[in-house]
Amino acid sequence: MIRKGHHGLRPGQTMHLSITTRLRWHCEEPTDSLLQIEVAATSGQRLLANAFEGTPAGHVTRVPAQDGIGERIWLHQEGDCTVTYAAEVEVLGRSVALETLAALPPHRLPGEAVPYLMDSRYCPANRFSPFVDEEFAAFEGGAKVAAMRDWIAAHYRYVPGVSDASTTAIDSFVERRGVCRDYAHTLICFARAAAIPARFASGYGADVTPQDFHAVAEVWLANPEGVGGWHLVDATGMADTASFAQIAVGRDAADTSFLTSFGQADLRELAIEVREVASLNHVR
Amino acid sequence: MIRKGHHGLRPGQTMHLSITTRLRWHCEEPTDSLLQIEVAATSGQRLLANAFEGTPAGHVTRVPAQDGIGERIWLHQEGDCTVTYAAEVEVLGRSVALETLAALPPHRLPGEAVPYLMDSRYCPANRFSPFVDEEFAAFEGGAKVAAMRDWIAAHYRYVPGVSDASTTAIDSFVERRGVCRDYAHTLICFARAAAIPARFASGYGADVTPQDFHAVAEVWLANPEGVGGWHLVDATGMADTASFAQIAVGRDAADTSFLTSFGQADLRELAIEVREVASLNHVR
Amino acid sequence: MIRKGHHGLRPGQTMHLSITTRLRWHCEEPTDSLLQIEVAATSGQRLLANAFEGTPAGHVTRVPAQDGIGERIWLHQEGDCTVTYAAEVEVLGRSVALETLAALPPHRLPGEAVPYLMDSRYCPANRFSPFVDEEFAAFEGGAKVAAMRDWIAAHYRYVPGVSDASTTAIDSFVERRGVCRDYAHTLICFARAAAIPARFASGYGADVTPQDFHAVAEVWLANPEGVGGWHLVDATGMADTASFAQIAVGRDAADTSFLTSFGQADLRELAIEVREVASLNHVR
Amino acid sequence: MIRKGHHGLRPGQTMHLSITTRLRWHCEEPTDSLLQIEVAATSGQRLLANAFEGTPAGHVTRVPAQDGIGERIWLHQEGDCTVTYAAEVEVLGRSVALETLAALPPHRLPGEAVPYLMDSRYCPANRFSPFVDEEFAAFEGGAKVAAMRDWIAAHYRYVPGVSDASTTAIDSFVERRGVCRDYAHTLICFARAAAIPARFASGYGADVTPQDFHAVAEVWLANPEGVGGWHLVDATGMADTASFAQIAVGRDAADTSFLTSFGQADLRELAIEVREVASLNHVR
C-alpha cells in the first residue's frame, strides 16, 4: 500500500474515474454465481457509461441489492466463465469534516439505520464495548469516529494476504493488521459499540495500491443542519468520497463479496484498473 | 421442555392466543433501550387487541422493524423501567407440509430473499457446507429442510441456560445442545449452506414450556403453484404456524433481541404468559 | 479488588500465611474428581502444617503434579463431598527486580522451559506476535516483561464474573477485562510471543480481595549471574513472591483447576481464608 | 490420500524404514529455529542409522523433548538454511487389538498420563463432552476408542490444504474434513472427553500419500494384564504401529511442529521420502 494524499476536492468539484474489471472463474457443474462488481447509481456518483459482459452467454438475472444501492447480478453458468466490466463514473467530491458531524441518540435514528447497530458476521461489535467505552470516552459524534479511525490507522499494519473469509474484527484487533476489509470491520465494530450505526461499503478507489476492490466504513451521523446520512470513513487512508466509486453496501463483507458461488467455483483471474481521468470543476 | 402435540389446524382454522409480558430493568443513567416484544400485524396473524405500557413515562419512539414486519420501540429512560404488554392474537393455521415445497434456484430468488443466503453473526453458514453437502445430499427443497430439522431434533438436546449472547451455531453444533435460538441458528446455517434463504423469527408460542420468548427459523420455498414465500420450521418441535405469534424477523438473534440497551442495564424481571383461548373455525 | 501495597520483604525475610479452604460439591453418581488445592513444598515456601480431609471417606490417590510441583489428589466419591484443607506456610521473600533479569536466547533454554514457549488452551500466543513485536520492541528481557505487565495493568479492568471456562486470552484482550486467570493468560501470551517461556501458577495470595484462589504468571529469565529460573509476575498487582503460596503450575488454567470432575458435579460451596500471621525476619 | 492396506505384522516381526528429509528455509536475520524431525529412540523402534546435517554450519543445541521422547534441535542461523536428515529405522510390529484394552479409572492413572486429560491448544476436549457422552455411551475402554476412530473415519474427508496453524478440533468437527493432524486432534478430544488420556504423536509413515510428516493419536489404556501404556490410533487409517516411526509426542500439534522459528522464517522446501526396505522376521 502506498498512501497518496487525498484529493480534497472542493464541494461542487467532481472526479472522473475510468474503471475496468476482468473476472474469470471455472465451474465444473452448472452453478449459480452472484456478482457485485458494478458501480451503483447514487446521488453521490453519476454513471457516464456502464458495460457488463459475460461469456459464455448464460442465464443472467438482476435483483436490487442491499438498501436499494446497486444491483446483484446472478449468473447461471458452467465451465470457464469470464466477466468484463467497464465504467466511466463521475464522483462528486463532498468531503465533510467528520468533526463537524453529530451522533443522533439511538431513539432518534430512522428505521433504516437501526439494523446497522447490530452485530454481524465479521463485526461482533458488542465485544468491543469495554474497550470503546474506555478508549474513546473523551469524544462525541464525528470526533469520536475520527478518533477511532486514527486509532486504527496508528495501531494496524496493512498486510496483504493475512486475512481470509473467516477473519473477523476480533482476529484483526488481536493481530493488529489486515487489509481494507479488516480496517473497515474494526471501525464498524467500534462505531456500533458506541451506538453509532455503521455499515460496510465496497467499491473502486483511485488511490488503492495494488489495484483491487476496495472497502470502507460508512457511519450514520447528522450534519450541522441536523440532517442524518451515511458518511464514508476509510481507516486505511486510501479513499475519500472524491475518489471512491461505490458498488454495494451491507452489514459487513459477508453481504458484498464481488463473487459468491453456490457450488464449486475456482477463481482464475481478477484484474482491476481504476484511472483518474480528470477532476472536473462545475457546479451542480 | 415438554413437547406437546401439534395442533394440526386445518387450513382456514385459526387459533386465538392471549399474551401478557412483563419486563423490568434498571438503568443507572439515562439510557436508550430497544424493545422488540409486540406481536406484528401480518397476513398470517390478526391483532384483536394490543396494549403497550411503560413506566416511568419516558421518551418513546417507534420505527419499522426488519423487512417491515412489526416495529422497534425505543425507550429513553432512567432508573427502574417497567414495561407491560398484553395482546389478543388470532393466528391463522396454514401449516404446509414442508415436503410439498420446492427450493428456487438462487438466480430466481427475489431481491428480498437474497440477503438471507449470507452469513450472519450467529450463523456462519459457509462453514457448514461440507457437512450439509454430504449429510443431506439425498434431499431437495422442502424435503431437504425437513431432513435438516429432523437431524437437529434427533441430535440436539434442549438444555435451558447453556447458551448466551456469544453462542454461535458452531458452538451449538459442537456441543449438540441449546435452546430455541440455537436450534433455529443451526437450521438457518444448514439451509443457507444449501442455498436456501433462511431467516430468524422471534415470537410467542402457545406450547413453549417453560413460557418464554420463542424463536424459529423461516425458509424461503415455493409452493406447488410456484409462489415463493417464507415458511416456518421449528427444529425444537414446540411451534407450528398455528401456535406461533410472530414478533420480528432478522438475520439471526442479533436482530431480534427483546431488549437491547445502549448503556448499562440490569434485567430484573421477565414474565411471559401465553394462553390458548380457543381454536376458531371459520373461513377467511 | 482492592489493591494493597506490596510487602517488599527484604531478601531473607519470610511471611507466614495461615490458609483454610473448604470445598463442597455433589455428584449424583460415583465420580472421579481431581483436586489441586494444597500448597506445594518448594524451595521458595516451607510447609509448617498441612491438613487435608475429605468426607465421606472415599478412595483417595495422589500423583505428582506438573513439573514435579505439588500433587494432584484424586477422589472417587458419590453424593455430597466435602473437603477441608488447612495449612501454615512460610513464604520466602525473594522479590527480584524484573528489570535486572535477562532473557536467554531460545537455543540456550533448558529442555524443561521449552514447552512453555508453545501455544496452549487459553494462551494462543502466536496470535499476539505482531502486537508484541510492535508494542514492546523497545525493551529486552525482564524490562520487556515488566512493560507487558504494566500494559495489562493499565489497559485491563478487574471485573469478577466476566470470564468462564471458555474464555481465552484473545477474549480478554478484546474485552480488556477479566480476573486473575485472564491477566495471567494475557501476560503468558505476550511473553511467549517474545520467545520468553511463561507458565501459569495457581496459589493462595494474602492480598487477594475478595479471597479466592489466585493465579499469576511465571517467566523464565536469568539472574545477573546468568542462572535461569522461574520468576513470578502478577499483572493484577495483587501478589508478589512474599505473599503468594504456590499450589501448582501448568501451561495455563486448564492444567491447574482446583476441581476437575469426570462426570456431573455441582459445586455448592467454596470458602477460602488466607491470613498473614507475621512477617518473620531471619536468615536462611 | 490413497489408503493402502495395513501390514498386520505378527508380534515379533519388524519393519525396516528408510527415511530422508530435506528442509530449506530463509531467515532475513539471525533467528532461533526449533526442529523436531528426527526419529526418536524408543522401546518400539530401533535406530540403525541417523544423520542430521545443517548448512550453513551454525549454532546447534539439543534438549530432551516432551516426555523424554526424542530431542528438540535448536539452530541459530541466518540467510538460507538447509537441513538434511537420513535415518534407517527398525519398527517393531506390536499391533494390539484396541478392543482388548481397558480404560483405567482416572484415579488410577499414573501422574505422567494425567496432563493428557486436560484441554490443550487445538484440543478443547471439554466442549465435546455432550457429544461423546451421547454418541459413544454404548462402549467402554479400547472399544470406545475404536468406535471414536471409526466415527471420524466415516464422517471426515481427508482434504489436503484445508487446515492451517489456527485450525482447532472444533473447526475440523464442524467442517468434517482435514488432514492427519485434524483427525488426530479430533480423536484426542473425543478420548479426553471420555476421561481417557490422549496425546499427539508426530512421525514418518510408510503408507502416507503424498509423503509428508504424519501425525496420529496415542491413548493410555491397559492391556489384559492390567499394564497401562500408550497405544497408537490413526483415524486416517494410514498408519499402524508397524509402519509409523515416531518423532515426538505432545499435547497436540502445538508441541510437535517440525519447524518453529522465533522470528521471520520463510519455508522454501520440504521433501520427505519414506521407503519400506523389508519386513524382517525375528524374535526379540
pLDDT digits (tens, 9 = 90+) for B103-138: 999 999 999 999 999 999 999 999 999 999 999 999
What's the CA gap between D107 and D122, in Å, rounded? 25
Residue A188 has pLDDT above 80, yes or no: yes
Interface contact flag, B157 D128, Cβ < 8 Å:
no
Chain B contact set for A106 (CB, 8 A): 32, 34, 74, 262
β-bridge partners, C34: C74, C260
CB contact under 8 A, A127 and C175: yes
All residues of chain B having their beta carbon less than 8 Å from the beta carbon of residue A262 are: 106, 117, 195
What pLDDT is recorded for position C279? 58
Give the one of A32, A66, A121 whose C-beta lies nearest to B119's C-beta. A121
Site from D174, D182, D185 to mutate, B interface, most B CB atoms within 10 angstroms: D174
% pLDDT > 70, chain A: 93
Whole-number average pLDDT of chain B: 91
Q: Reduce the DSSP state of residue B261 to 3 states and report it.
A: strand
Chain C residues whose beta carbon lies within 8 Å of the beta carbon of residue D107: 32, 59, 61, 74-76
Chain C residues within an 8 Å CB radius of A171: 127
Question: Mutation test of the interface with chain C: which of A155, A157, A175, A177, choosing the one with the most C Cβ atoms within 10 A?
Answer: A175
State phi, psi for C184 to the nearest 5 degrees: -65, -45
pLDDT of residue A7: 47
Contacts of D72 in chain C (CB under 8 A): 111, 114
Average pLDDT score, chain D:
91
Q: Among B164-168, B239-243, C153-157, C173-177, which is the least confidently predicted range?
A: B239-243
- The answer to whether residues C32 and C74 touch, using CB atoms and an 8 Å cutoff, is yes
| Whole-angstrom distance, CA of residue C158 vs CA of residue C180 | 8
Confidence of residue D182 (pLDDT cuts 50, 70, 90): very high
Among residues B280, B278, B237, which one has the least CA distance to residue B6? B237
In the numeric block, the cell 511473553 is attached to C191
pLDDT tens digits for D43-76? 889 999 999 998 887 788 999 999 999 999 999 9
Give me the helices (H) in D70-168, please.
129-135, 141-155
* Start-end of H helices in chain C: 129-135, 141-155, 169-175, 180-193
Of B130, B176, B177, the CB nearest to D175: B130
In angstroms, the Cα distances linking C82 to C49, C267, D258 are 20, 10, 46
pTM: 0.92
Q: How confident is the model at residue D82 (pLDDT cuts 50, 70, 90)?
A: very high
User: Closest partner residue to B110 among A59, A63, A120, by Cβ?
Assistant: A63
* Chain D interface, Cβ < 8 Å to C: 32, 34, 59, 61, 63-66, 72, 74-76, 105-111, 114-115, 117-121, 124, 126-127, 165-166, 195, 250-251, 254-255, 260, 262
Q: Which of B176, B177, B185 to probe by mutation at the D interface, max D CB count within 10 Å? A: B176
**Grid cell in block for residue C122:** 487459553
Chain A interface disruption, residue of C131, C174, C185, most A CBs within 10 A: C174
Residues of C in Cβ contact (< 8 Å) with D108: 61
The C-alpha atoms of residue C175 and residue C162 are separated, in whole angstroms, by: 10
**Phi (first) and psi of residue A23, to 5 degrees:** -135, 130
Distance between CA atoms of residues B186 and D203, nearest Å = 38
Identify which of A23, A22, A25 has the alpha carbon closest to the alpha carbon of residue A262.
A25
Task: Determine how many CB atoms are found less than 10 A away from the CB of residue A49.
Answer: 10
Q: Which stretches of chain B sit within 8 Å of chain A by CB? A: 32, 34, 59, 61, 63-66, 72, 74-76, 105-111, 114-115, 117-121, 124, 126-127, 165-166, 195, 250-251, 254-255, 260, 262
B118–A118 CB contact, under 8 Å: no
* % of chain A beyond a pLDDT of 90: 80
Separation in Å, CA of A46 to nearest CA in chain B: 23
pLDDT in tens, B147-163: 999 999 999 999 999 99
pLDDT of B219 > 80? The answer is yes
> Which chains does chain D touch, 3 or more C-beta pairs < 8 A?
B, C
C-alpha cell of residue D3 = 489408503
Partner-chain residue, chosen from C32, C120, C121, that has the shortest CB–CB distance to D106: C32
Cβ neighbors of B111 (< 8 A, separation 6 or more) are A63, A64, A65, A72
Q: How many CB atoms lie within 10 A of CB A28?
A: 11
Question: Cis link prior to A56 (omega < 30° from 0)?
Answer: yes
**Is B120's CB within 8 Å of A166's CB?**
no
Q: Which are the contacts of B154, defined by CB distance < 8 A and separation ≥ 6?
A: none
Q: What is the pLDDT of residue D243?
A: 85
pLDDT attached to residue C264: 87
| Cβ <8 Å between A128 and C174 | yes
For residue A4, the Cα-to-chain-centroid distance in whole angstroms is 19
D178 → chain B, closest CA residue: B130
Contacts 24+ apart (CB under 8 A), B104-109: B104/B220, B104/B221, B104/B222, B104/B228, B105/A32, B105/A76, B105/B195, B106/A32, B106/A34, B106/A74, B106/A262, B106/B195, B107/A32, B107/A59, B107/A61, B107/A74, B107/A75, B107/A76, B108/A61, B109/A63, B109/B197, B109/B220, B109/B228
In sequence order, what E strands does chain B have? 13-35, 45-55, 59-64, 71-92, 157-158, 177-178, 198-205, 214-222, 228-233, 244-250, 259-262, 266-281
Count the alpha carbons within 13 Å of D278 in the hemisphere toward its beta carbon.
3
Confidence check: pLDDT of A283 > 80: no
* Contacting residues of A for C177, CB less than 8 Å apart: 130
* β-strand pairing of C198-205 with C214-222: antiparallel
- Is pLDDT of D111 > 90? yes
Of the candidates A130, A170, A176, the beta carbon closest to that of C130 is on A176
Q: So what's the pLDDT on residue A18?
A: 95
Q: Which of B163-172, C153-162, D217-226, D274-283 has the lowest mean pLDDT?
A: D274-283
Contact: B177, D130; criterion CB under 8 Å: yes
What does the pLDDT read at residue D99?
94
**pLDDT tens track, chain C, 284 positions:** 333 334 445 556 788 999 999 999 999 999 999 999 999 999 889 999 999 998 887 788 999 999 999 999 999 999 999 999 999 999 987 768 899 999 999 999 999 999 999 999 999 999 999 999 999 999 999 999 999 999 999 999 999 999 999 999 999 999 999 999 999 999 999 999 999 999 999 999 988 888 899 999 999 999 999 999 999 999 999 887 778 999 999 999 999 999 999 988 999 999 999 999 865 554 43
Chain C residue numbers touching D118 (CB-CB < 8 A): 121, 250, 254-255
Using CB atoms within 10 Å of the CB of residue B72, give its burial: 0 to 12 exposed, 13 to 18 middle, 19+ buried: buried
Question: Is D18's pLDDT higher than 50?
Answer: yes
Grid cell for residue C191: 511473553
Contacts of C190 by beta carbon, 8 Å cutoff, 6+ apart: C125, C128, C132, C136, C148, C151, C152
Contact at CB, C251 and D111, closer than 8 angstroms: no
Interface test with A, best of B34, B104, B121 (most A CBs within 10 A): B121
Q: Do the chains contact at B106 and A64, CB–CB below 8 Å?
A: no
pLDDT tens figures, B64-104: 999 999 999 999 999 999 999 999 999 987 768 899 999 99
| Chain B residue whose CA is closest to A61 | B107
- Mean pLDDT computed over D260-268: 92
Binned at pLDDT 50, 70 and 90, residue A219 comes out as very high
Helix axes D141-155, D180-193, angle to 10 degrees: 140
Q: How many CB pairs under 8 A join A and B?
A: 87
Query: Smallest CA–CA separation between B128 and chain D, in Å?
Result: 6
Chain D residue with minimal CA distance to B134?
Answer: D155
**Contact state of A176 with C127 under an 8 Å Cβ cutoff:** no
Residues C114, C120, C123: CA angle, nearest 5 degrees: 110
**Chain B adjacent subunits, 3+ CB pairs under 8 A:** A, D
> pLDDT value at position D11?
55
- Report chain D residues whose CB lies below 8 A from the CB of B173: 173-174
* Minimal C-alpha gap between B131 and chain D (Å): 6
| Confidence at residue A6, expressed as pLDDT on a 0 to 100 scale | 44
Q: Which residue of A has its CA nearest to C170?
A: A174
pLDDT of residue C59: 81
Query: CA of C135 to nearest chain A CA: how many angstroms apart?
Result: 9
- Those chains having 3 or more beta-carbon pairs within 8 angstroms of chain A are B, C
- The answer to whether residues B207 and B240 touch, using CB atoms and an 8 Å cutoff, is no
Which one has a higher pLDDT value, B92 or B260?
B260
Cα D45 from Cα D67, distance rounded (Å): 16
Residue contact C175–A134, C-beta within 8 A: no
CB pair distance less than 8 Å for B106 and A75? no
Q: Which of D228, D45, D249, D239 lies closest to D142, judged by CA? A: D228
